[in-house]
Amino acid sequence: MNYLKMTAVAFALTLTVAMTTQSCSSTMMNQDNTVMVGGAAMYPTKNIVENAVNSKDHTTLVAAVKAAGLVETLQSAGPFTVFAPTNAAFGKLPAGTVGTLVMPENKATLTNILTYHVVPGRISSADLSKWIMKNNGMYMAKTVQGEELTFWMKGKDMYVKDTKGNSARITIADVNQSNGVIHVIDTVLMP
């Protein structure tokens, strides 16, 4: 009788461990494959534009990318690292700024601002962290626009600063795309 009880307990434990391992593996696989941004799954098999259009938090950015004529570029092979301001980040700008920027006559200015949020290559938060530590607490990266962004850390939070001294916190890092990576930020950067 004791042998049967021990076998039943051993079987139950084995089953529990197997189910837990499978559950953890599924969770990890899901975390590896998708990140939720703006209420939508961002799939690493899709490109930057294909994912961004689904984020409720990035409707202003998507409209700006369309107005600047950058959709085709951000759908190309890249790779690109995009620091993507949320709608709330655009909301911090003076009233009327976004409406003015998306006007056809301001396309060059809008393109200048948007390409300032893009760094060539696929740069993870682990890369940035390593480079920040290696460079005495700061790291500078040249953007597609041509000017630099400065990165630093405060505790576990990573920040990026523009040439005008505005700082943005990376709120969601490492949103992998087929043609690069997106890091969500809470402030619009200005060249």
89, 188 in Cβ contact below 8 A?
yes
C-alpha 28/C-alpha 13 separation (Å) is 22
Q: Are strands 80-85 and 180-185 parallel, antiparallel or unpaired?
A: parallel
C-alpha 57/C-alpha 99 separation (Å) is 17
Residue of 62, 75, 35 whose CA lies nearest to 171: 35
Diameter of the chain measured on Cα atoms: 86
Q: Bigger pLDDT: 83 or 70?
A: 83
The per-residue pLDDT for range 76-134, each reduced to its tens digit, is: 778 999 999 999 999 999 888 888 888 899 999 999 999 999 999 999 999 999 999 99
- N-terminal to C-terminal alpha carbon distance within the chain: 78
pLDDT bracket for residue 55 (50, 70, 90): confident
C-alpha 27/C-alpha 6 separation (Å) is 31
Task: Supply 29's token pair.
Answer: 């696989």
The per-residue pLDDT for range 150-178, each reduced to its tens digit, is: 999 999 999 999 999 999 999 988 888 88
Sign of CA dihedral 69, 71, 72, 76: positive
C-alpha 65/C-alpha 49 separation (Å) is 9
pLDDT at 15: 35
Q: Are strands 180-185 and 40-42 parallel, antiparallel or unpaired?
A: unpaired
> How much of the chain, in percent, has pLDDT values that exceed 70?
82
